[in-house]
Amino acid sequence: MRTIDWVDGAIELVDQTLLPDKCLVLRIHTVHELVDAIRRLAVRGAPALGVAGALGVVLADGDPAQIAELRSARPTAVNLAWGVDQAVAHLHEGREAVLAAALRVRDDDIAACRAMGERGADLLEGDRLRIMTVCNSGGLAAVERGTALGVVQTLHERGRLAEVLVLETRPLLQGARLTTWELARMEAPHRLIADSAGPYLLAKGEVDAVLIGADRIAANGDTANKIGSYALALGAERAGVPFVVVAPESTIDSRTPTGDHIEIEDRGADEIVAVRGVRLAPEGTRALNPAFDVTPHDLITAIVTERRVIRP
């Protein structure tokens, strides 16, 4: 199953807000529909957003205002703007050339995810590995297979995976809703844990490696990823456990020198004070909701891309 694709003149994408209860494919015909899908996280994950950005330029049909709106729909994930730019570079050649460029972005992502899976699995030592991960970095975050969870899938296919410990990933529960759904589909052994249990289980020796994806990697290796990643990096360093970032080359932003320069999206109070429409906190409770954090490069063991392994 492809998370996002171009089918019969429109974008088709899995509405991830409905998972795991329902797997619904949306057909997107306009940039307005696509921006809405991006902002409400119907489509999410850096590689998938890159493909969405490129395909969205086809829908924009050269309209600069629509392209600008699409490019800025989510500020932290660099792949969205990168994907838009890949297609925009061909506007002067006509719509078919733009579509061809967008489809190359899609196809390159599929190849990159498979390559990252192989490279990441080769990097990790051991035959029965216990992996910890946060958020969702599988096929739902890309077109197929994914980044960090793509490594997990490769380990599982090689018979080298003992178990995956999945952080639930508050506030939107991407780990609980999406990653467990993907792991169940690939029949990989896994257990779900509370976010705050991650560092403790690292300290107890229950984990052999932490694998995460990335939404933006600064030039010095500082990495923005789902909130909670930094806590795992601190726990992994204290426990002597490898902390590995898996992301395509397109997520490395050479124009951003360090993590201090990465804009961190705040998604507002509603996601914190309620869960899936059910209010938890008293009416009027204020909240702070950074969607991402930044892990300094000196806490990262390796960054695995489709081309290389980087030691920050």
Is 45 annotated among the ligand-binding residues? yes
Give the residue numbers marked as catalytic: 215
44 annotated binding-site participant? yes
Rounded to an integer, what distance in angstroms lies between the CA atom of residue 93 and that of residue 130?
49
* Annotated binding-site residue? 225: yes
Closest CA relative to residue 164, chosen from 214, 199, 155: 155
Pairing of strands 209-212, 129-133: parallel
228, with CB counted inside 10 A (0-12, 13-18, 19+), is buried
Instruction: Please check if 112 is assigned to a binding site.
Output: no
Kindly provide the residue ranges of all beta strands, DSSP E only, lying in the chain, ordered along the sequence.
4-7, 10-14, 25-28, 129-133, 161-167, 190-193, 209-212, 216-218, 223-226, 243-246, 252-253, 274-275, 278-279, 292-295, 302-304, 309-310
Residue 16 marked ligand-binding: no
**Known binding residues:** 44-46, 74, 174, 225-226
**Known binding residues for substrate:** 44-46, 74, 174, 225-226
